[in-house]
């Protein structure tokens, strides 16, 4: 890999992450929804496939354990447990692995954050549909053109990129912003 190629990758990543600044209002809306969910005793659920699974898991661990401040845990759970996923997919199908968990766990006071770079993952779409039917808040952290997920999630943020890697990098930045803001709002005295 040449120096030019490395520099180009870094520049593309930086530009994509910087484009999030244009969506400050959308980020604020997402944080407000999650703040309300947590304040009312709800749980923040998340799901995704591949790298988006890693993003969903990372969000959960930062909320449950801690991000920057010493504070009580924030109720959160990812729907990406390998034993549950493989059990359900083996016995039934992969398209309903998240939908089954949404129907099992979510209540109207909860929120579901769906990570999908394409907005087209059938199992994520079915999870959003199920969460909407329950009356939970639904948030899509998306990329490319948002796919069908942009019409299913009640609140969406579409990263301005067609490059999956750049979208995932921006999603990770969003995860950290969400965690920081939730800690500040829920535990203003925590250090």
Residue 167 Cα distances to 7, 109, 158, angstroms: 18, 29, 9
DSSP sequence for 97-133: HHHHHHHHH--TT-EEEEEESSS--HHHHHHHHHHHH
pLDDT digits (tens, 9 = 90+) for 35-81: 999 999 999 999 999 999 999 999 999 999 999 999 999 999 999 99
CA distance 160 to 31: 20
pLDDT digits (tens, 9 = 90+) for 154-190: 999 999 999 999 999 999 999 999 999 999 999 999 9
Q: Is the pLDDT of residue 1 over 70?
A: no
C-beta neighbour count of 156 within 10 angstroms? 20
3 burial (CB, 10 Å; 0-12 / 13-18 / 19+) is exposed
pLDDT digits (tens, 9 = 90+) for 113-158: 999 999 999 999 999 999 999 999 999 999 999 999 999 999 999 9
Cα-Cα end-to-end distance for the chain: 43
């Amino acid at each position: 890999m040449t120096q030019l190629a490395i520099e180009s990758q870094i520049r593309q990543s930086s530009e994509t992450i910087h484009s999030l600044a244009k969506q400050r209002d959308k980020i604020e809306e997402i944080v407000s929804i999650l703040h309300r969910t947590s304040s009312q005793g709800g749980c923040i659920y998340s799901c995704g496939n591949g790298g988006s699974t890693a993003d969903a898991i990372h969000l959960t661990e930062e909320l449950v354990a801690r991000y920057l401040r010493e504070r009580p845990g924030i109720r959160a759970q990812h729907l990406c447990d390998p034993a549950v996923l493989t059990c359900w997919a083996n016995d039934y199908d992969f398209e309903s692995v998240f939908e089954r968990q949404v129907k099992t766990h979510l209540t109207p006071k909860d929120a579901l954050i769906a990570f999908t770079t394409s907005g087209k993952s059938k199992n994520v779409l079915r999870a959003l549909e199920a969460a909407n039917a329950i009356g939970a808040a639904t948030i899509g952290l998306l990329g490319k053109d948002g796919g069908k997920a942009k019409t299913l999630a009640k609140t969406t943020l579409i990263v301005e990129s067609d490059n999956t890697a750049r979208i995932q990098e921006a999603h990770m930045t969003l995860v950290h912003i969400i965690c920081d803001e939730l800690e500040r709002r829920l535990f203003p005295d925590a250090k």
